[in-house]
Each structure stands twice: as structure tokens, then as C-alpha cells.
Amino acid sequence: MRLCARALSHAPANVLRTVPVSVSPSVSAAVAAPTQADLLDFVRRTAADAELIASLPLDPEGRTWVHLEGPGGSEAWLIGWPPGTGTGWHDHADSVGAFTTARGELKEYSLAVRLPTDGWKTLELTEGVDRERTLPAGKGRAFGRHHVHEVLNESTEEHAISVHAYYPPLPRIRRFSRTGQVLRLEQVERPEDWQ
């Protein structure tokens, strides 16, 4: 199976590297629509595949990724995070998901509140909605629809690698900026923007 790896930032959008990656039968697609628990199990098992993790090309400047076949028609990604990189605040629309750190350590900041799906540009968040998790290698989490978070590699020296899965495949990602308790919708991305 051939899968694509591409730099997420600091490179032109047309830069594409193809690398051969084999996914073991233990991470093949399931028959039924996967649950959050199924996705978490998949990302944990995939993160434990040392050969797959070592095959990810790492870029010193920008994130890289390899698209994987997830269980039951889910969308899955193996992502490399150079020191100091992150996603910015975003959500995953109507998809549930899970991710696990395979190497290094990631930090997740999230909001314990459901945002309106449409019809707003700026929201003021109430106190007490912020959550924070540190996810060292081998640790992960699942999340529900409309989960808003940002994920960061706060290390100044070490790359991190993680595995992510979403079901249904991501229909869009809303990107936000945040200043204090004010969250602003900045952009809506569609699959063609990241695939």
C-alpha cells in the first residue's frame, strides 16, 4: 500500500512526498461504523507499531502526515510534530475521534462546552471551560462531536509523533483564534484543503 506524506506548514501546498507504508492486518477496517472506543483502540494499536512510526518522514520546520486506512471507513492520520508546533484552536464538525501520542509528548488544551455549529463569528467563553491534558507516548484520548481543542508539541528539542482517527471522515474543520476568553471563527477548511 502506498500512502502520502505531506508537510503541513512551512512548505508550498504542492510539496508532496510519497512513502511506502504497510499497515498490519491488526489495524484493518471493521465492518460496522466505529465508536469512539473503536477509534481509541485503533490509534493505540497503530501507535504501538514501531516500524510504521519510524517510517514517517520528519521535517525540522513543519508538521508532516501520512494518511492511513482507519477502521470501518474512518479517516486516520500519522502526524509528525517538530518542536514548538501545534494545530491552533479547531473542531472536527460532526465527527467523533481519538488520538494517541506514539513518540514524544503532546499537550491538549480543550473547551468543556459545545459551541453553536453556525451563525456566529465571535463568542465570549465563560470561566471554567478550559481543560488541559498532557499526553506522553502511549497515552491518548477519545472525543465526541464538535470537540474544540488545540494540540501542541511544547518540547523545544524533540519531535513528537501521534496517530489520529475520525468517523465519519472529516467533512470540515473550523479554525479559531483566541484572545483571553474571546474565541473568533477564522476559517472553515474542507477535505480538499488537507488531503
pLDDT in tens, 173-186: 999 999 999 999 99
25 or 162: whose pLDDT is higher? Answer: 162
Do the beta carbons of residue 76 and residue 42 sit within 8 Å?
A: yes
Closest CA to 44 of 58, 26, 66, 20: 26
How confident is the model at residue 76, as a pLDDT?
A: 97
Over the stretch 133-162, which tens digit does the pLDDT of each residue have? 999 999 999 999 989 999 999 999 999 999
Q: What does the pLDDT read at residue 54?
A: 97
Question: 179 and 122 in contact (C-beta within 8 Å)?
Answer: no
| CA atoms of 184 and 48, how far apart (whole Å) | 37
Q: What is the pLDDT of residues 91-138, one digit of tens each?
A: 998 899 999 999 999 999 999 998 887 889 999 999 999 999 999 999
Task: Count CA atoms within 13 Å of residue 41 on its CB side.
Answer: 12
Residue 21 scores a pLDDT above 80 = no
- Report d(CA 162, CA 19) in Å as an integer: 17
The whole-number pLDDT of residue 12 equals: 28
Assign 195 a pLDDT band (cuts: 50, 70, 90). Answer: low
Cα gap 109→176, rounded to integer Å: 13
pLDDT tens string 26-77:
444 446 899 999 999 999 999 999 999 999 999 999 999 999 999 999 999 9
Q: Is the pLDDT of residue 78 over 60?
A: yes
pTM: 0.82
Q: Percentage of the chain with pLDDT > 90?
A: 75
Q: Which amino acid is at 69?
A: E
Model pLDDT, residue 62 = 94
DSSP one-letter code for 86: B
| Beta-carbon count within 10 A of 164 CB | 24
pLDDT exceeds 50 at position 188:
yes
> 183 Cβ partners below 8 Å, 6+ apart?
89, 111, 115, 122, 123, 124, 125, 148, 176, 177
